[in-house]
Amino acid sequence: MVFLDFEKPLEVLYEQLEKIQQVGEQGEVDVSATIKELENKIKQTRKELYNDLSGWQRVQLSRHPERPYTLYYIEQMCRKFVELHGDRYFADDKAIVGGIGSLDGQSVVFVGHQKGVNTKMRQYRNFGMANPEGYRKALRLMKLAERFNFPVVCLVDTPGAFPGIEAEERGQAEAIARNMFEMAQLRVPIVVTVIGEGASGGAIGIGLGDSVYMMENTWYSVISPESCSSILWRSWDYKEQAAEQLKLTAEHMTDFGIVDGIIKEPLGGAHTAPDEAAKILKRHLKKEIAELQKMTPEERIERRLEKFGSIGQYDVLESEAEATAKAK
Amino acid sequence: MGWFKRLKDGIQTATQHKKEAPDGLWYKCKHCGETSTMKEMRENYLKCPKCNYHTRIGSHDYFDLIFDGKYTELFLELKSKDFLNFKDLKTYEDRLKSANKKTDLPDAISVAHGKVRKRPVVIAAMDFSYIGGSMGSVVGEKIARAIDFAEENRMPLLLISKSGGARMMESAFSLMQMAKTSARLARMAKAGVPYFSMMTDPTTGGVTASFAMLGDLNFAEPEALIGFAGPRVIKETIKKDLPEGFQTSEFLLEHGFLDFIVDRADIKEKIGDILLLFSNAEANA
Ligand SMILES: [Zn+2]
């Protein structure tokens, strides 16, 4: 088990539990009462720790090395899944995966960022940082979905689009922009869920949909707390403050009306009971898809435009407003 | 009245939007290091007379340069506010105040409509001097309204980008302006109203990764920095030096992301030509 820094009290309790269990195995004393007590204490401590998490703690949880990723969720949720590769122009990006799966009989096109599960795979997946061909693969699959009237599910989990020489040469910016442009007019339902990190253009590049939810221990922001710290505080040391200032948690984002709601995770985070997290996610996706399928493509497109078109906060000066009205 | 206009008319008036350096003042080019007088600079479209470096100019400079004389500004009523109470070393509120004081601009973008070679057009132009040309709610909303205006009046839209990207102090709201503007452009594209995107130095981050790259035509001033990630970030990530000319307009043209590069002296003529060629454009959806 991997413990985060704020989970120290839990780590201590788990160590105690392990010791007692070893004593118990030697069979000389009855430790069952002590074990029970410790287990209760763990439960209680977890509840307290997770009762009021800071922005930075959510960021830490979203990056937990044991957290489930896109392919895990797809495999848990779908009886059948065929992974599809390549953008048909340049390459197959490993940081964005996709394919067609069956959600209890409904064929769905999935696209999502994919992180690696161990050191070697993390490299292979480029830490979930996609190149332009990843976004173009995602778009190709969404267009495939449109052709055959399959709903699209996007699972967002990226620390950002990859900042590299080749990414720029092949048009990282154009690929992300093009996806939003096309997703805005896609005729099939698009259900977006942030399952981990939702950083910047890399996230919104597959993030424009009819329904946008965040899992409980995730974040969504224009920039990662670390980069924000380095630019605005001119030091890497202010990531906690940056996380607070950016108001990037699922709770904030729901309050702002930028996302539609929060998907609950098992207590302690999705990694503590990944199969349960997958069940919760599946229930959510099925419900959203069913709702959206009741609308016509035109209604969905109009709603999508309105949904994203209304995001923004500003003052309106009355006198100038009249001036504009006259100018028009 | 801006400096291009004065150049044509030979009159001297203070401009509304910035305090201009007197003619006799020297300008030292940050590109080639040579010096020229401000008069020489103005007569050369604020490009370095020695090396043709295009200095960063403001939205109203472009309006003066491109429109036939007068133009009408739109959406001046929209003002940014610090709705997240964002505070780093400074508060966002203070940043807005000092930007307002320094520039006299409404925000990092201005929108106007007028005519170019007698053809109507909407121009939205960004100002780097206003918090790095960053895109927050107001920039996104003004672009959205400029698109609506262009679509309703069936006027082509020219958007001149000059921005460091999304405005961090509005967090996810800034990020969502990328989706908002892209979605709106998709609708306008369907309606068959032409959209031209001109990128100037610099155009990076969320601005490049949304409306700047979505023009029916994409073009740029020479030697502008255009990219998604900033060069410093890329260098730190890959721990290698970047190739000569990386992320310049010329680099983007070479890699297929621009239709052409246009010298500032030729912008008006080029826009005039394009408007003529697109004057019989119609929706074919
Ligand atoms: Zn020079």
H or E segment at A41? helix A32-49
| B6 and B132 assigned to the same domain | no
| B78 and B33 assigned to the same domain | no
β-bridge mates for residue B199, sequence order? B161, B220
| B242 and B225 assigned to the same domain | yes
H or E segment at B177? helix B171-191
Question: Digits of tens for pLDDT over chain A (328 positions)?
Answer: 889 999 999 999 999 999 999 988 888 888 889 999 999 999 999 999 998 899 999 999 999 999 999 999 999 999 999 999 999 999 999 999 999 999 999 999 999 999 999 999 999 999 999 999 999 999 999 999 999 999 999 999 999 999 999 999 999 999 999 999 999 999 999 999 999 999 999 999 999 999 999 999 999 999 999 999 999 999 999 999 999 999 999 999 999 999 999 999 999 999 999 999 999 999 999 999 999 999 999 999 999 999 999 999 999 998 777 777 777 6
| B25 and B131 assigned to the same domain | no
Domain count, chain B: 2
| B16 and B144 assigned to the same domain | no
How many whole angstroms separate alpha carbon A260 and alpha carbon B210? 23
Closest by CA to A240, choosing from A255, A228, A258, is A228
| B265 and B196 assigned to the same domain | yes
| B266 and B184 assigned to the same domain | yes
Closest by CA to B206, choosing from B167, B246, B166, B163, is B166
N-to-C CA span, chain A:
64
- Cα(B209) to ligand 1 centroid in Å equals 30
- Closest approach of A250 to chain B, Cα-based (Å): 11
| B152 and B244 assigned to the same domain | yes
Burial A286-308 (b: 16+ CB within 10 A, else e): bebbeebeeeeeeebbeebbebb
Residue B38 lies in a domain: yes
Interface predicted TM-score of the whole assembly (ipTM), two decimals: 0.95
Question: What part of B 2-31 touches A (C-beta under 8 Å)?
Answer: none
| B11 and B35 assigned to the same domain | yes
Domain containing B46 equals 1-55
| B51 and B64 assigned to the same domain | no
Residue B282 lies in a domain: no
> Across chain B, which distance is largest between two alpha carbons, in Å?
56
How many whole angstroms separate alpha carbon A205 and alpha carbon B268? 34
| B73 and B208 assigned to the same domain | yes
| B48 and B61 assigned to the same domain | no
Question: What part of B 208-247 touches A (C-beta under 8 Å)?
Answer: 208-214, 227-230, 233-234, 237-238, 240, 242-243, 246-247
Alpha carbon of residue A22 to chain centroid: 39
How many whole angstroms separate alpha carbon A234 and alpha carbon A239? 11
* Chain B residues in contact with A173 (beta carbon < 8 A): 208-209, 212-213, 227-228
Residue B283 lies in a domain: no
Q: What is the DSSP string of B95-125?
A: HHHHHHHHH--SSSEEEEEEEETTEEEEEEE
